[in-house]
Amino acid sequence: MKFTETELPGVWIIEPEVFEDSRGLFYESFREEEFQSKIGPVHFVQENESTSKLGVLRGLHYQAPPHAQAKLVRAIQGEVFDVAVDLRRNSPTFGRYYAEILSWENRKQMFIPRGFAHGYLVLSENCIFQYKVDRVWHRESERSLRFDDPEVGVEWPMEHDQLMLSDKDRFAKTLEHAELFTFGEEL
């Protein structure tokens, strides 16, 4: 596997080596030993899957401490515009985002550490999105950052009037009013 750290320290893109022939294909999507040797110790405790259709935007989600989550995400069918936003005040990259196209075709995965918000926009007719987390979901700690916060400035590849959002995401807090993390703090 190829591991590439993005311009947001701690956010990684992981690309598998794909073996393909006339029968189909095979690749390793996760190997704990290799993952931990490149990224560090992360113990995933839950794996989730969602299905969505074209134009669905899910996010930007995170969990407040002490239930913050790291995530390893990928599209196992279809294509998404995947986004991570640094919510660690005093971080050199605070408020910045990184985006990557994740798809079945490119088989890329993104690792998002604790202290970041995460979301994705479905770019294909349908999508199955899968993610591993290192802590289970905790209802009272669930938070959302507003998808169109001008301070963050995510350049979503669809017009806002074409997006399908939950009310929770449509009316989420802006960065100015969001519950934040502190850079360097144990999450």
pLDDT tens per residue, range 75-102? 999 999 999 999 999 999 999 999 999 9
Angle subtended at Cα 137 by Cα 76 and Cα 51, rounded to the nearest 5 degrees = 30
Domain boundaries, the chain: 43-182
Q: Which of 13-27, 67-81, 94-108, 111-125 has the lowest mean pLDDT?
A: 13-27
Coil, helix or strand at residue 37: helix
pLDDT at 67 over 80: yes
Per the annotation, the verdict on 61 as an active-site residue is: yes
| Mean pLDDT computed over every residue of the chain | 95
CA distance 130 to 101: 14
Tokens at residue 34, please? 């290799």
CA distance 94 to 182: 10
pLDDT at 44 over 80: yes
Per the annotation, the verdict on 27 as an active-site residue is: no
CA distance 1 to 159: 35
CA distance 136 to 153: 29
pTM for the full predicted model: 0.94
Contact 110, 84 (CB under 8 A): yes
Tokens at residue 121, please? 């926009």
Fill in the amino acid letter for 16: P
> Of 27, 43, 61, 177, which is the active-site residue?
61
CATH code for 43-182?
2.60.120.10
pLDDT at 187 over 80: no
> Of 43, 131, 138, 160, which is the active-site residue?
131
> Would you place residue 28 in the very low, low, confident or very high pLDDT band (cuts 50, 70, 90)?
confident
